[in-house]
């Protein structure tokens, strides 16, 4: 068995139905949706249908969906505009936010805004006491992701939003990893802004969306891209109609299948963990077991270098961390935020199961990894010392 893909947190293969609908759009809906002629109005019609579909995925109104180039732009738009809307007070974000959020927050801090990075506990959940304490001083904007891209841990965003809004703060959540994998309802969450990305839910790359609340309260964003007044003046630029159409189709499929697919992926994830646990000692799941995305499993293999393990399973696509920070050799800042030591952090692998994976593939991957880990440990003096009592287990 060759070429098994278990890195669905990084990206997903577009669903065949998504590809087909995008192809039809390229052939028949190629007009500019801002034009008044027949071709333009046909493009507008299919664009409006896609907007309805994306809105329905998160229980929003269509006119609350702002299309962007992806999750990074959506996060930037939310945070930069939220900071303008609330010019006084601190910006709060958890220590395990995606780099698109943390780097934007740091850029705002360099411009003079107060930034507070909030700790998480050993399971990757925002510390409630730390959050409550941070709200004692004036707060302008709170950004806490719904599900983490490395760990798969799910944050109590509804409770966080309720507390933050009681203090008058704008609330944002990065739902890029959660949408399509969990039932996401912006009304139930109570957030003002929510980021999405199509390529994380079997849609195309290069397209995303930002939910912008229009009532209770209405959030009025200032654009970060000017010229033309597209998207009700909030994001100028000719829209990527085929990409948006693919996004809409992917959202419609996920809306129908999220519950059943979530149960299936949970079963595959648990099957993978059970098989690894039977074959190997000194392995550890990073992040909460209970509050976790269905298809995510982040495992540390003590006394094994993660990069060496990846080289040994080169027919299996997995990751040693976020695809957006893979250029650095530093251990995952997400794992470090949990209190994980450098050695154990360097031994961690992220498995991201998805729609096209099977039980047969899971069994193959578990057996392949167990074999490689055992071979690497046979030549590891640290593993030998630990099991002879010469060294405490890695932490």
Query: Is residue 395 a part of any domain in this protein?
Result: no
Question: Which residues are catalytically annotated?
Answer: 324
Mean predicted confidence (pLDDT) in 231-245? 84
Same domain, 376 and 237: no
Q: Quick check: is 393 in a domain? A: no
d(CA 98, CA 331): 15
CB 91 within 8 A of CB 242: no
Evaluate whether 74 touches 225 at the Cβ level (below 8 Å): no
139 and 265 share a domain?
no
Same domain, 180 and 234: yes
Tokens of 140: 């302008």
Q: Does 223 fall in a domain?
A: yes
The pLDDT of 161-168, averaged and rounded, is: 94
Residue ending a domain, choose from 253, 280, 305: 253
333 and 233 belong to one structural domain: no
In a shared domain, residues 90 and 37: yes
Domain membership flag for residue 394: no
| Same domain membership, residue 140 and residue 231 | yes
Q: Which of 105, 158, 167, 159 is nearest to 135 (CA)?
A: 167
User: In this structure, is residue 281 part of a structural domain?
Assistant: yes
Q: Which domain holds residue 374?
A: 4-10+259-387
The end-to-end CA distance of the chain, in Å, is: 34
The band of 391, judged by pLDDT with boundaries at 50, 70 and 90, is low
Question: Residue 232: CB partners within 8 Å, gap ≥ 6?
Answer: 63, 66
Specify whether 246 is located in the same domain as 309: no
Stronger pLDDT, 2 or 174, i.e. the higher one: 174
| Structural Rg of the chain based on CA atoms | 22
Per-residue confidence band for 380, with pLDDT thresholds at 50, 70 and 90: confident
Q: What is the pLDDT of residue 390?
A: 52
Residue 81 placed within a domain: yes
Give 54 or 232, the one with higher predicted confidence: 54
Q: Tell me which of 221, 253, 285 is where a domain ends.
A: 253
Spatial strand order in the sheet of 296-301: 283-285, 296-301, 348-352
CB 210 within 8 A of CB 195: yes
pTM of the predicted model as reported, rounded to 2 decimal places: 0.93
Check if the beta carbon of residue 93 is closer than 8 Å to that of residue 143.
Answer: yes
pLDDT at 323: 47
Give me 66's structure tokens: 């702002």
Quote the mean pLDDT of the chain: 91
Structure confidence at residue 4 (pLDDT): 96
Instruction: For residue range 10-46, list pLDDT tens digits in order.
Output: 999 999 999 999 999 999 888 878 777 988 888 889 9
Percent of the chain with pLDDT over 70: 94
More confident residue, 226 or 363: 363
* Structural domain count, the chain: 2
CATH of the domain at 265: 3.90.1150.10
69 and 212 share a domain?
A: yes
Q: What is the pLDDT of residue 388?
A: 77
Least confident range of 129-133, 204-208, 212-216, 250-254: 129-133
Alpha carbons 251 and 245: distance in angstroms, whole number: 10
**Residue 316: CB partners within 8 Å, gap ≥ 6?**
4, 6, 365, 368, 369
User: Closest by alpha carbon to 354, among 221, 271, 264, 290?
Assistant: 264
Domain assignment present for 228: yes
The two structure tokens encoding residue 250:
């992917």
User: Residue 392: pLDDT above 60?
Assistant: no
Q: Are 345 and 150 in contact (CB under 8 A)?
A: no
59-68, 85-94, 192-201, 378-387: least confident range: 378-387
Instruction: Report how far residue 106's alpha carbon sits from residue 300's, in angstroms, rounded to the nearest whole number.
Output: 29
Residue 197: name the closest of 321, 72, 318 by CA: 72
In what helix (H) or strand (E) does residue 101 lie, and over which residues does it extend?
helix 99-110
Asked, for residue 269, whether it belongs to a domain, the answer is yes
Per-residue pLDDT at 194: 98
Supply the CATH number for residue 187's domain: 3.40.640.10
């Amino acid at each position: 068995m060759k070429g098994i893909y278990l890195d669905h947190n990084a990206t997903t293969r577009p669903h065949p139905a998504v590809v087909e609908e995008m192809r039809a759009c390229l052939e028949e809906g190629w007009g500019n949706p801002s034009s008044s002629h027949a071709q333009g109005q046909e493009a507008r019609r299919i664009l409006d249908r896609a907007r309805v579909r994306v809105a329905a995925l998160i229980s929003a109104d269509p006119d609350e969906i702002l299309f962007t180039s992806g999750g990074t732009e959506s996060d930037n738009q939310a945070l930069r505009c939220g900071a303008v809307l609330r010019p006084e007070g601190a910006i709060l974000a958890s220590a395990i936010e995606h780099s698109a959020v943390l780097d934007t927050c740091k850029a705002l801090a360099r411009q003079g805004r107060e930034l507070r990075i909030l700790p998480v506990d050993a399971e990757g959940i925002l510390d409630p006491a730390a959050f409550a304490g941070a709200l004692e001083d004036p707060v302008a904007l709170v950004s806490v992701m719904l599900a983490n891209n490395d760990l798969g841990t799910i944050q109590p965003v509804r409770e966080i939003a309720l507390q933050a809004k009681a203090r008058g703060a704008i609330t944002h959540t990065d739902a890029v990893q959660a949408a399509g994998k969990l039932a996401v309802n912006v009304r139930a969450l109570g957030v003002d802004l929510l980021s999405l990305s199509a390529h994380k839910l079997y849609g195309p790359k290069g397209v995303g969306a930002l939910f912008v609340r229009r009532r209770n309260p209405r959030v009025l964003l200032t654009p970060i891209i000017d010229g033309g007044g597209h998207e009700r003046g909030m994001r100028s630029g000719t829209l990527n109609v085929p990409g948006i159409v693919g996004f809409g189709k992917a959202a419609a499929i996920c809306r129908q299948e999220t519950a059943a697919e979530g149960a299936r992926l949970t079963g595959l994830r648990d099957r993978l963990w059970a098989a690894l646990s039977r074959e190997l000692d000194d392995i550890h799941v990073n992040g909460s077991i209970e509050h976790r995305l269905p298809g995510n499993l982040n495992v540390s293999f003590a006394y094994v270098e993660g990069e060496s393990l990846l080289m040994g399973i080169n027919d299996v696509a997995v990751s040693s961390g976020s695809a957006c920070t893979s250029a650095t050799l530093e251990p995952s800042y997400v794992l470090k935020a949990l209190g994980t030591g450098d050695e154990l952090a360097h031994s961690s692998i992220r498995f991201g199961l998805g729609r096209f994976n099977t039980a047969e593939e899971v069994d193959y991957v578990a057996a392949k990894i167990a074999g490689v880990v055992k071979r690497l440990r046979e030549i590891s003096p640290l593993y030998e010392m630990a099991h002879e009592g010469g060294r405490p287990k890695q932490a």
